[in-house]
Amino acid sequence: MDKVSLELGRGEILGLIGENGAGKSTLIKVLAGVHKPDSGRIIYGETEISIPNPSFAKKHGIGIIYQELNIIPGLAVQDNLFLGSESDLGLIKGEKEKNKARKILDTLGANFKLSQNCSELSIAQQQLVEIAKSLLIDINVLVMDEPTASLTGHDVKHLFKVIKKLVSEGLSVIYVSHKLEEIEELADRVFIMRDGKHISTKDKNDFTRNQMIEEMVGRKLESEFPNSVSEPGETLLKVEHLSYKKIISDISFLVKRGEIVGIAGLVGAGRTELVRLIAGAEEPTGGSIAINGKIAVIKCPADAMLKGIGHIPEDRKDQGLILEQSVLENFSLINLRSHSSYGWVWNTKLEKKLGDYKKQLSIKYSGSQQKIKNLSGGNQQKVVIAKWLERSCDLFIFDEPTRGIDVGAKYEIYELMMMLLQKGKSILMVSSELPELLGISNRIIVMKEGQLVGQFDDLTGVSQEDVMQLCF
């Protein structure tokens, strides 16, 4: 971070945006007392303060809600709320505190009990617990880091309502997000960072979305999505009456060669579960999957791989990558069989292949031995795509392909997807971002409560609202 000056008024919402690595998180951590600034000062109200540690920030009314929620799933709501603020004897607070907590949860519109176990709550509900936790200690400033990353339409709307209400009562909010439409809806002013520097701050109305993107990325952008050029061919994947326990029931659809089929729906509608069935992560309890007109029995991920299905899971860090391993090792993992003889791995060959993809997909890393966790989200995703490309898959399943990836890199991922189509590959994509779904899909299917509730074969003239209506 380099000489950043930020001003936040009482009862104001400041939208903080910038690409990954722009310094947003560092800025937040300085406010939270996690990092100490090398120079500069913080003026809070009338007085100059320094924030030596997180508990100091908390005591002085600066609340931070991180992207990863700090909720302990095994504990009840009330225990999570009072975690760390128990009385000296370690006893849980009494009725008075509970009443206060109840009141706060009510103002947040929470529909769950204090005694409920947090593991039973949805992500959106857990987030309300997190907000309530901050409000319990009379805060003046609330910093939220991508609070909607795992929420869908309805929950986002509710969250916004809550934020606006709190702000009207005098709270100041710094709202960090990659989703520009959220910034447009919520923020009073927009604060843009790039490469650790403050680029500009303007009133929301003085910015167009494209201007925001250009300032974040530092160059002009033609458009948010590349043009689709492919012509869909014959049917590649045919799913019929697919069912899984009580989560997925009787789903039929097909994916043609050279097209992107998007799956829309709310979180919990069964989208991820559906693609996991096709990828072999789970075994279907009914129905059939056919590849190239032949019934494919898929019982495990290895089966799906043999049938030419590549799966790029929703949660890159937990399911897609082995973070502690190198770029080369992550790239190699699914390609070991084809690059080894009698169990002996041909490392130089793999390294050369990786080098080819590095050029082709313009992946940025310092060396093939670099740990993959040190790459940016966009580059990590490219490595994942490269490993499946090397495996010569026909069907790529993308589950939230651009989650946690910044604007500039998003466009590159979309371009990669177009390149796959040109090579005659097909893509099945789950996304919670409607603009993305509408922007790059050839067709969209909509899921609700484990069932297929709608299908758009021609997307010309289809609006976000049209799709949303089917989701609810």
Q: Judged by CB under 8 A, does residue 4 bind other proteins?
A: no
Residue 281 touching other proteins (CB under 8 A): yes
The Cα–Cα gap between 418 and 455 comes to 22
Is residue 321 near other proteins by the rule CB under 8 A?
Answer: yes
Tokens of 252: 């039929």
Under rule CB under 8 A, residue 327 binds other proteins: no
Nearest to 37 by CA among 23, 19, 22, 55: 23
- Residue among 212 and 372 whose Cβ is closer to other proteins: 372
CB of 305 to other proteins, least distance (A): 5
Buried b (16+ CB within 10 A) or exposed e, 42-53: eebeeeeeebee
In whole angstroms, the minimum distance from the beta carbon of 336 to other proteins comes to 5
Check binding of 222 to other proteins (CB under 8 A): no
* 3-state SS class at 117: strand
Beta bridge partners of 189: 14, 203
Contact with other proteins (CB under 8 A) among 6, 49, 217, 323: 323
Query: Minimum CB separation from other proteins for residue 314, in Å?
Result: 11
Determine the 3-state secondary structure of 107 from DSSP.
Answer: helix
**Residue 152, both tokens:** 């869908």
- Number of chain positions touching other proteins (CB under 8 A): 29
Query: What residue type is 11 in one-letter code?
Result: G
Nearer to other proteins, 216 or 298 (CB): 298
Tell me which DSSP letter residue 213 carries.
Answer: H
The mark string for 382-421 relative to other proteins (x by CB under 8 A, - otherwise) is -----x----------------------------------
Closest separation in Å from C-beta 334 to other proteins: 5
Contact segment (CB under 8 A) with other proteins among 114-122, 167-175, 286-294, 316-324 equals: 316-324
| Residue count (the chain) | 472
Q: Which of 279, 429, 437, 452 binds other proteins (CB under 8 A)?
A: 279
**101 contacts other proteins (rule: CB under 8 A):** no
Among 72, 295, 297, 302, binds other proteins (CB under 8 A): 302
Residue 348 touches other proteins, criterion: CB under 8 A: no
The Cα–Cα gap between 168 and 312 comes to 42
Does 336 bind other proteins (CB under 8 A)? Our answer is yes
In the set 90, 94, 343, 461, which binds other proteins (CB under 8 A)?
343
Q: Is 438 in the site for other proteins (CB under 8 A)?
A: no
What is the nearest approach in angstroms of other proteins to the Cβ of residue 302? 4
How far apart (Å, rounded) are the C-alpha atoms in residues 366 and 341? 29
Decide: 395 and 308 in contact? Cβ < 8 Å: yes
State yes or no: residue 380 binds other proteins (CB under 8 A).
Answer: no
Q: Verify binding: residue 226, other proteins, rule CB under 8 A.
A: no
Cβ partners under 8 Å of residue 471, min gap 6? 152, 153, 264, 265, 266, 269, 446, 448, 453
Least separation in angstroms between residue 297's CB and other proteins is: 15
Q: Of the ranges 64-72, 123-131, 172-180, 333-341, which one interacts with other proteins (CB under 8 A)?
A: 333-341
In the list 325, 376, 451, 464, the residue contacting other proteins (rule: CB under 8 A) is: 325
Contact indicator for 192, 17 with CB cutoff of 8 Å: yes
Among 268, 301, 439, 454, binds other proteins (CB under 8 A): 301
Question: Is 371 among the residues that bind other proteins (CB under 8 A)?
Answer: no
Least gap, CB of 397 to other proteins (angstroms): 11
**Total Cβ atoms within 10 A of residue 169:** 8
Residue 192, token pair as written in the block: 């843009």
Q: Strands 47-49 and 62-65, how do they pair? A: unpaired
Q: Are 440 and 225 in contact (CB under 8 A)?
A: yes
Q: Give the 3-state secondary structure of residue 97.
A: helix
In angstroms, give the least distance from the CB of 8 to other proteins.
35
Nearer to other proteins, 321 or 409 (CB): 321
344 interacts with other proteins by CB under 8 A: yes
Query: Which residue carries 């310092």 as its tokens?
Result: 366
- Please name the residue ranges forming H helices in 271-406: 271-278, 301-306, 327-332, 347-360, 377-390
Q: Which of 265, 313, 377, 404 binds other proteins (CB under 8 A)?
A: 313
Contact 198, 24 (CB under 8 A): no
Q: Which of 75, 323 has the CB closer to other proteins?
A: 323
Nearer to other proteins, 267 or 345 (CB): 345
Q: Does 271 bind other proteins (CB under 8 A)?
A: no
Provide the minimum distance between the beta carbon of 250 and other proteins in the complex, in angstroms, as a whole number: 25
Other beta carbons within 10 angstroms of residue 158's beta carbon come to 17
Element (H, E) at 188: none
* Conformational region of residue 444, where left means phi above 0, alpha means psi within -120 to 50, and beta covers everything else: beta
Check residue 332 for interaction with other proteins (CB under 8 A).
yes
Inter-residue contact 127 to 145 (CB < 8 Å): no
Which residues sit at the interface with other proteins, rule CB under 8 A?
279, 281, 300-302, 305, 311, 313, 318-325, 329, 332-334, 336-337, 340, 343-345, 347, 369, 387
